[in-house]
Amino acid sequence: MITPMPVTDFSLLPLPTIHFGVGYFSRLPELTKSFGRTILVVTGSHALQQSGRLSMLMDGLQSAGVRPFHLVVDREPSPELVDRAVSTCRDHAPDVVLAIGGGSVLDAGKAISAMLHYHLSVERFVEGQEGFIQHDGCKVPFIAVPTTSGTGSEVTNNAVISRVGRNGFKRSLRHVALVPDIALIDPELMVTVSPELTAASGMDACTQLLEAFTSPFATPYTDAVACSGLESFARSFIAACTDCSDERSVRGDIAYAALMSGIALANAGLGIVHGFASSVGGVIDIPHGTLCATLLAEATRENIAQLRLIDPNHPALQKYAKAGEILCGQVPEDLSSGCERLLDTLEQWQELLDFPRLRKYRMVPDNIDSIVSATRSKSNAVQLDEAAMKRILLRRW
């Protein structure tokens, strides 16, 4: 049983106009033409083209009197990728940017829409970088259409920009005005996503839901959003990764969970796994969802252990127990068993779906000290010292 949270002062980020439903992809020509007659369409390099949906969209846009031009993004957006795209596309003077793809494509489209009015590198506007300038929110209107269920970027106010290697980083371009103007979620676009990508992106959504739910900055609003997302996720995650992956209702559940995770994280923040996503992601080239998948169980175990040392009845432990109840579908006998059921469920998924270890991506133990020293996570359920963070990484090395 969770002790009711008193309603205190809080603020909420704006939401896009959200369109959610099977077959809604066909609505894009009508939705985009309200912004003007020239549109930049940003996609990944394969899936949309191979399915025939890209040509269908382009034909629909032209029939609606909209002039489209197309940009392909084939990896996580770096400053160089965004700068080249902006330079290439600026002369077209798009009235709206439409990004259709996974989290990397949506982040690239969001960053491009934010930088088309500027002649500086996007890196100057990335938090934590040398010479940082706060973006003022001036952008070209932006429409986000996810084709995977994970990042929640379709409803957030940041775009993740990264560079891997020496002096690498993974940080955000952020402003409240960068929340997309429209988010269109069509579960039909996710039906052909591979089991591996479904698992990785799904675990990103699960991580976001759990970290936002247990954040010290959570509110009754974000709790309701996170619990709603966890319920949908629990109902269909394994089915989406296995024998029911082509069912629209199953994909709809996971798409909804990802959408809720984006709303929750934007308003409550994220925990240590996403702290590692920034520090580890600048050192090794590992997909973001894969990193979440491989670290979530151990990070949750460490958080629960540290919270128990502070207070066996800590409010965050009550939330972990509630998450365990939702994800395993059984009411726990007590607080401790609820937390253990959560850990058991996360570990079962880890084993069943064979989440890879960090060493597969050429992370070496010698990197761990520098990674830990660079890791920040003010929204984690409990403050972790460097020894605790090392334990998480070493257990998944």
Q: Are 31 and 185 in contact (CB under 8 A)?
A: no
State both tokens at 242: 């296995």
pLDDT at 342: 97
The residue type of 320 is Y
The domain spans of the chain are 17-189, 195-395
pLDDT at 168: 84
CATH class of the domain whose range is 195-395: mainly alpha
Q: What is the average pLDDT across 11-20?
A: 95
Evaluate if residue 5 carries a pLDDT over 90. Answer: no
Q: Are 345 and 328 in contact (CB under 8 A)?
A: yes
Beta strands 169-174 and 158-163, pairing class: antiparallel
Q: What confidence tens digit (pLDDT) does each residue in 88-108 have?
A: 999 899 999 999 999 999 999
Q: What confidence tens digit (pLDDT) does each residue in 322-368 have?
A: 999 999 988 988 999 999 999 999 999 999 999 999 999 998 998 89
**Alpha carbons 152 and 249: distance in angstroms, whole number:** 19
- Predicted model pTM: 0.94
State the alpha helices, DSSP H only, in the chain. Answer: 28-32, 47-50, 53-63, 79-89, 103-115, 195-214, 220-241, 248-268, 272-281, 288-310, 315-328, 335-352, 368-374, 386-395
Sorted by sequence, the CB contacts under 8 Å of residue 141 that are 6+ apart come out as 35, 95, 96, 97, 113, 181
Name the 3-class secondary structure at 220.
helix
Q: What confidence tens digit (pLDDT) does each residue in 68-91 have?
A: 999 999 888 999 999 999 999 998
Per-residue confidence at 4, pLDDT binned at 50, 70, 90?
A: low
CATH class of the domain whose range is 17-189: alpha beta
Hey, what's the torsion of the CAs at 269, 262, 246, 344, to 10 degrees? Answer: 20
> Which of 301, 302, 333, 339 lies closest to 317, judged by CA?
339
Percent of the chain exceeding pLDDT 90 equals 86
